[in-house]
Amino acid sequence: MYISITGLKPKGLWGLIKFWTLAVPTFREAQKAKGNMHCTVKRIEGYQCTVTAWENRDLMLTFMRNGTHLTAMKSFHKIATGKTYGFESDKIPSWGEAFELLKTKGITY
């Protein structure tokens, strides 16, 4: 399965408001997306984090490049900073493991 970890920090009050107007529908869409096996969120050290597990990377990319997620990505640099990390795994990482991977291996945007 393909694991995707994201941690975003909204920029200021406007960024926070815009972030939530995009994050909530995107999360709901992810929960129902084809191939999604796990979808969870948590705030850690000021980051709004998600961990999702997908049947495979191609299904994750299909979700990522469409719908509300695509709209959110187009607004990203205006509203937040953050990191992402994705990898193949046989298990879903704990929040501690996921955040450590995000800090040490994540790509900064």
Beta partners for residue 62, in sequence order: none
CA distance 105 to 65: 22
Sheet arrangement for strand 36-44: 36-44, 47-54, 2-10, 80-88, 107-108
Question: Domain tally for the chain?
Answer: 1
pLDDT, residue 27, reads 95
Tens digit of each residue's pLDDT (9 = 90 or more) over 47-82:
999 999 999 999 999 999 999 999 999 999 999 999
Instruction: Give the domain CATH number at 46.
Output: 3.30.70.100
Domain range for residue 45?
2-108
Tens digit of each residue's pLDDT (9 = 90 or more) over 29-51:
999 999 999 999 999 999 999 99
